[in-house]
């Protein structure tokens, strides 16, 4: 399996307790997935979830392959990943950030404006950072009035920039 076939859904912060539990900071909009997940990957190796529960903003999980605290200590700062095909299916019109980054951006007249290089999440809505060599970055609000179409399969985003841009 290639590295880009794995998607990070959490980061192990530290061991928790003496039985080998791990304290995980979720990096997903669906942290409840840890409660019913059978397996995940750490450093490309498959691990099987024995149990999981929420504790404050963390997920506390135990894995069949991690028997005690000594073993758990080796996992601090490692990423919890799943295969791309095991991601939670999003509703129509919603996209994963990693699918948005790299899309070519065109305006409604077919002019290439650049490529999405980052997605900012300041609060009310996401903001797409569009870069083009030799030009300043452009920022586009991820709202229906601006983003007219996203075609992940063809790696294309169509925008109708406001007049002041």
pLDDT tens, position by position, 110-131: 999 999 999 998 888 999 999 9
Q: Is 1 a residue whose pLDDT tops 60?
A: no
pLDDT-derived band of residue 161, with 50, 70 and 90 as boundaries?
confident
Topology (CATH level 3) of domain 6-85: Elongation Factor Tu (Ef-tu); domain 3 (2.40.30)
Q: Is 3 a residue whose pLDDT tops 60?
A: no
pLDDT-derived band of residue 62, with 50, 70 and 90 as boundaries?
very high
Which whole number is the average pLDDT over 25-36? 92
Q: What is the CA 138 to chain-centroid distance, rounded? A: 23
Topology (CATH level 3) of domain 97-159: SH3 type barrels. (2.30.30)
**Residue carrying structure tokens 């980061």:** 11
Full-model pTM: 0.72
> What pLDDT score was predicted for residue 164?
60
Asked if 118 contacts 112 with a C-beta cutoff of 8 angstroms, the reply is no
Residue among 71, 70, 72, 42 at smallest CA distance from 60: 72
Q: Is 56 a residue whose pLDDT tops 70?
A: yes
Give the whole-number percent of the chain exceeding pLDDT 70: 96
Gap between the Cα atoms of 113 and 96, Å rounded? 21
Asked if 8 contacts 80 with a C-beta cutoff of 8 angstroms, the reply is yes
Q: Is 165 a residue whose pLDDT tops 90?
A: no
Portions of the chain given CATH number 2.40.30.60 = 6-85
> What pLDDT score was predicted for residue 4?
58
User: Both tokens of residue 123?
Assistant: 């609060």
Portions of the chain given CATH number 2.30.30.240 = 97-159
Gap between the Cα atoms of 68 and 46, Å rounded? 18
Asked if 14 contacts 24 with a C-beta cutoff of 8 angstroms, the reply is no
Distances (CA, A) of 37 to 32, 40, 48, 100, 111: 9, 8, 8, 26, 44
DSSP three-state, residue 106: strand
Which whole number is the average pLDDT over 1-26? 87
């Amino acid at each position: 399996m290639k590295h880009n076939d794995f998607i990070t859904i959490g980061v192990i912060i530290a061991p928790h307790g003496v039985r080998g539990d791990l304290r995980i900071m979720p990096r997903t909009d669906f942290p409840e997935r840890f409660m019913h997940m059978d397996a995940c990957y750490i450093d490309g190796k498959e691990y099987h979830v024995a149990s999981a529960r929420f504790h404050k903003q963390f997920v506390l999980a135990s894995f069949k392959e991690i028997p005690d605290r000594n073993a758990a200590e080796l996992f601090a700062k490692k990423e919890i990943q799943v295969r791309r095909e095991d991601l939670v299916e999003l509703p129509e019109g919603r996209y994963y950030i990693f699918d948005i980054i790299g899309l070519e951006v065109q305006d409604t007249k077919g002019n290439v404006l650049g490529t999405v290089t980052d997605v900012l999440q300041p609060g009310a809505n996401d903001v797409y950072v569009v870069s083009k060599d030799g030009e300043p970055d452009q920022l586009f609000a991820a709202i229906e009035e601006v983003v007219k179409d996203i075609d992940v399969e063809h790696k294309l985003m169509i925008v109708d920039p406001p007049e002041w841009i």
